Amino acid sequence: MKALTVVRSVADLRRAVAEHRSAGRTIGLVPTMGALHEGHVSLVQGALDRGDVPVASIFVNPTQFGPNEDFGAYPRDEAGDFAKLEAAGCRIAYAPVVEEMYPGPQLTTITVAGLTDHLCGPFRPGHFQGVATVVCKLLMMAMPDRGYFGEKDYQQLQVLKRMARDLNMPIEIVGMPTVREPDGLAMSSRNRYLAPSERKTALALYRGLNAVADAVRDGRASCSPVAERAAQALLEAGFDTVEYLTVVDAESLAPLDRVRGPARVAAAARLGRTRLIDNIAV
């Protein structure tokens, strides 16, 4: 097992990356908020599969949390994260303090219009601006060849792909399939918030998405009544609220009446104090 180098500053990150670059290697950045699970490990593996030296960042970014969200409670386990990264074959872990990422007021922000009007956008005002801006910063710090993100956060992935394309970054944004628990629940750092009874209920989310995908796949059914019935079923299964459960165009994320091309069923629902999101291809 090759050793993991832990760096805390942009300067040290750039030095560590430059060493691999000067040896002719390509770089793959895996931005994370820590509390790593097998989904993150699959992103590191994705980088290795493409021949990139995997570099992971661990930073719980305050600017992408709303005032009533779980920034303070977000799980942190740095030592465990480093162990998982090293075991996965990651070579550099960049774990900056907030002051290294935001040494002064961040006056510059990146907005991706359109894509953020749908799904989580209206429920998390400012969230995608925070995500786009911090990911741009991380990309500029590491200057990788590729950045790896999970399809679990499908809207985030589309926003970041669009940002990289619109700003002509010489960086490819790679989306990797969602990793699931054996029973189908999408892996998420927030799953550890779930009480055992909630953990059972949570499975209804993935089941509901599959039921909708099956019902609308052939393009004959109108999506919204199907999705509404599935949302109702989530509430009956024990979810407290369903923020959205909807069928959207796979690229523009605009709601679809009928499926005619690549589409995604996506949902966000609350179970106790936990907000879960998931999505699947149609």
Residues in the chain: 282
- Contacts for 250 with CB less than 8 Å, ≥ 6 apart: 261, 262, 263, 264, 281
Q: State which residue, 167 or 235, has the beta carbon closest to its own copies.
A: 167
Q: Is 137 in the site for its own copies (CB under 8 A)?
A: yes
Token look-up 């000067």 returns: 22
Q: Is 200 in the site for its own copies (CB under 8 A)?
A: no
Q: Is 113 in the site for its own copies (CB under 8 A)?
A: yes
Nearest to 20 by CA among 46, 69, 56, 53: 53
Reported as type and span, the H/E element at residue 194 is: none
Segment near its own copies (CB under 8 A); pick from 113-121, 194-202, 230-238, 258-266: 113-121
Q: State which residue, 137 or 152, has the beta carbon closest to its own copies.
A: 137
Q: Is 166 in the site for its own copies (CB under 8 A)?
A: yes
Q: How many CB atoms lie within 10 A of CB 140?
A: 11
Q: Is 24 in the site for its own copies (CB under 8 A)?
A: no
Q: Is 168 in the site for its own copies (CB under 8 A)?
A: yes
Active-site annotation holds for 20: no
Segment near its own copies (CB under 8 A); pick from 21-29, 57-65, 131-139, 203-211: 131-139
Quote the DSSP letter at residue 224.
Answer: H
| Residue 239 near residue 223 (C-beta atoms within 8 A) | no
List residues near its own copies by CB under 8 A.
10, 14, 105-115, 132-133, 136-137, 140-141, 143, 162-163, 166-170
